[in-house]
Amino acid sequence: MIVLWTDALIYLLVVTSVVFAWYLGRQQHMRRPLKKIAASPVAMASLTLLLCFALIGLADSIHFKDGDSRGNEAVSLLDVACDTMRKHGEKTYSAPFAVHGYAKETLALDDGSTRWDYPRLQYGGAHLADPETEWAGDVFDKTLSGFSRGAGLMLMVLLLAWGDQHERRRVLWRSASSKAVWAALFLVVSGCYTLFSLSAYYHVLGTDKVGEDVFYQTLKSIRTGLVIGSLTTLVMLPLAIVFGIMAGFFKGWVDDVIQFIYTTLNSIPSVLLIAASILMVQVYMTNHPENFNNLLVRADMRLLFLCLILGVTSWTGLCRLLRAETLKLREMEYVLAAQALGVKPAMILFRHILPNVMHIVLISVVLDFSSLVLAEAVLSYINIGVDPTTHSWGNMINSARLEMAREPVVWWSLTAAFVFMFALVLAANLFADSVRDAFDPRRAQAS
């Protein structure tokens, strides 16, 4: 097993969030908001989707040496699961479910003559003898059978849950939010099952310029998206929160210094900083080749540094928001009362200010998440984003610039990246919304 730097950080993140969730569940006064989240169908369905994304990302974060390939390339659990997709590469572009290539080329026929035509794909629909007549029926058959097997599996689980005689669990299974969870799970599982079983025969989302399966790329991109979203946030949050509320609360010279830092940082074009630090990492890796003997390790290092530097350049906006909010909160009477009671400043910050700015943090983190994924795409454009060998939605969108200019248009890379990003960001938004509502005691009363 190989543990990359980002892998280690992801494990750490998972462990921390599990411990945190467990701790929250044990707190008596936290149970009500948690129950409120659990009772909201939208929140639970979004959470299910998010967990599915996280699960795929996690599967992609368990790396080990590939047994049958030469060299020291590492593969992840996801690679193993998508083995056929990974290895069934075509020569170049092909449309979703295509059996022929997307561009004409000179074909050498059996009788020695040549013809200018669309070539058959090496793997996509290779099992069909006569694509013209069999294709539609075959796709329909395989979709149906894949779907029915996935759906059947879920139905069996559902039936087991439904038939449960235990009174308390029955109530649990049949609440509105658990129905939403089941519906979301049903859709995700049967959908995935269908796509997976189809992808053994076809490229369900087509192939890209070098013939790699786009569905596989999209799945691999989930990890990159999650890493950039979560690790960058992890770097940015402490900086923004600590500096923001300190500047707002203490005012005076502390405020001056912090304001000076973030205005300075803001006035340097962030692209410049990012380019510089990425170049630094490149140079370091070239000088110490013994530590970076593997393509994956190098790409991973670059991803990690990208997260770090994105975090360092993106905390200023949130910091300014928090400073302004803290300036308002510190004049509130409950802060004055705490001061009159002799509560130490650190405690006031932690107990009175921080919980009351958390809604801003939550919203801006979720909104930043999507802009971070996009920032990665922009940076890839000037070659300082993630490593070109790393699969990412940014890279896919970036390459789509040229693909959209082609005639006929290659639309599937962009569409696939868009749909997956959209699902992830929307689910995160909806979930964050209900978390914010549930943890605001004033809102809890209104509904």
Partner 1 sequence: MKPLLSVEHLSVSFSFQNKVVDDISFEIRSGETFALVGESGSGKSITALSVLRLLPNNAQMQAAGMVLQDRDLLKIPEIDFCRLRGRRIGLIFQDPMSSLNPVMTIGEQVAEVLNIHFQLAKDEVRQRVLELIKQVEIPEPERRINEYPHQLSGGQRQRVMIAIALAGKPDLLIADEPTTALDVTIQAQILDLLKNLQQQTGMALWLISHDLALVSNIADRIAVMQKGKIVETAATGEFFRQAKHPYSLKLLAALPKMESCLDRVAQNKPPLLKVEDFKVYYPIRKGIFKRVVGHVKAVDGVDFELHAGTTLALVGESGCGKTSMGKGLLNLIPAHAGRVLFDDIDLTQLQGEALRKQRAAMQIVFQDPFAAMNPRMLVGDIIAEGLRALRSDITRPLMQSRVAELLQQVDLPADAALRYPHEFSGGQRQRICIARALAVEPKLIICDEPTSALDVSVQAQIIALLKELQKQQSLSFLLITHNLGVVAEMADEVAVMYRGKIVEQGLVEQVLTQPRHAYTKTLLAAVPKLQSTRKH
> Given the complex with partner 1, which of 74 and 329 has the nearer CB atom?
329
Binding site for partner 1 (CB under 8 A): 28-29, 332-334, 336-344, 347, 351-352, 355-356, 439-442, 444-445
Q: Which is nearer to partner 1, 347 or 402 (CB)?
A: 347
Q: Which residues contact 229 (CB under 8 A, 6 or more apart)?
A: 369, 372, 373
Name the residue nearer to partner 1 (CB basis): 137 or 345.
345
CB atoms within 10 A of CB 306: 28
Closest contact distance (angstroms) between CB of 367 and partner 1 is: 22
Q: If DSSP states are collapsed to H, E and C, what string results for 410-425?
A: CCHHHHHHHHHHHHHH
Rounded least distance, CB 351 to partner 1, Å:
7
Question: Does residue 177 contact residue 39 with C-beta atoms inside 8 Å?
Answer: yes
169 or 344: whose CB is closer to partner 1?
344
- Cα–Cα distances (Å) from 88 to 121, 213, 249, in that order, read 10, 8, 59
**What is the C-alpha to C-alpha distance for residues 339 and 415, in angstroms, rounded to an integer?**
56
CB of 439 to partner 1, least distance (A): 8
DSSP one-letter string for 93-133: -B-TT-SB-SS-EEEE-TTS-EEEEPPBPSSTTTT-S-HHH
92 or 339: whose CB is closer to partner 1? 339
Min dist CB 358 to partner 1, Å, is 8
> What's 64's DSSP letter?
E
* DSSP conformation letters of 377-405: HHHHHTT-SS-TTS--HHHHHHHHHHHHH
Which residue number, 21 or 336, has a Cβ lying nearer to partner 1? 336
239 or 329: CB nearest partner 1: 329
109 vs 340 by CB, closer to partner 1: 340
Pair 373, 222: CB distance under 8 Å: no
341: DSSP letter: T
In the complex, what is the shortest distance from the CB of residue 330 to partner 1, in angstroms, rounded to a whole number?
11
| Least Å from the CB of residue 335 to partner 1 | 8
The minimum distance between CB 68 and partner 1, in angstroms, equals 56
Task: For the chain, state the CA radius of gyration.
Answer: 26
CB of 340 to partner 1, least distance (A): 5
Compute the distance between CA of residue 88 and CA of residue 440 in angstroms, rounded to an integer. Answer: 51
Instruction: For residue 89, give the 3-state DSSP assignment.
Output: coil
- Give the N- to C-terminal CA distance of the chain in Å, as an integer: 50
